[in-house]
Amino acid sequence: MTTNRAFSYTPLWKLLIDRDMNKTQLQERAGISPATLSKLGRGGNVTTDVLARICEALDCDVADICEVVPTDMKGVTD
């Protein structure tokens, strides 16, 4: 049986907490729109360019800001 998968941005939100940064600061540093930030908050699809800009702004790797999870686990945190 094939399990559907989706991106989860939970690691991004945890990283922001660790760095004492809020979403508005991320938006400004990465040069992303409020709509894109909202899409991330809902676990929506964003372009690889957006992910790259976030990684550049946070000096991290894409694996530090998102993960692929089964869709039935999307949004579930430890």
Which CATH number is 31's domain given? 1.10.260.40
- Counted domains in the chain: 1
- HEC letters along 7-64: EECHHHHHHHHHCCCCHHHHHHHHCCCHHHHHHHHCCCCCCHHHHHHHHHHHCCCHHH
pLDDT in tens, 21-62: 999 999 999 999 999 999 999 999 999 999 999 999 999 999
In a domain, 47, yes or no: yes
In a domain, 9, yes or no: yes
Domain that holds residue 34: 5-73
In a domain, 59, yes or no: yes
In a domain, 78, yes or no: no
How much is the pTM?
0.84
- The β-bridge partners of 68 are 7
Where is average pLDDT lowest: 15-19, 27-31, 34-38, 70-74?
70-74
The tokens describing 45, both together, are 């699809």
The tokens describing 74, both together, are 């999307």
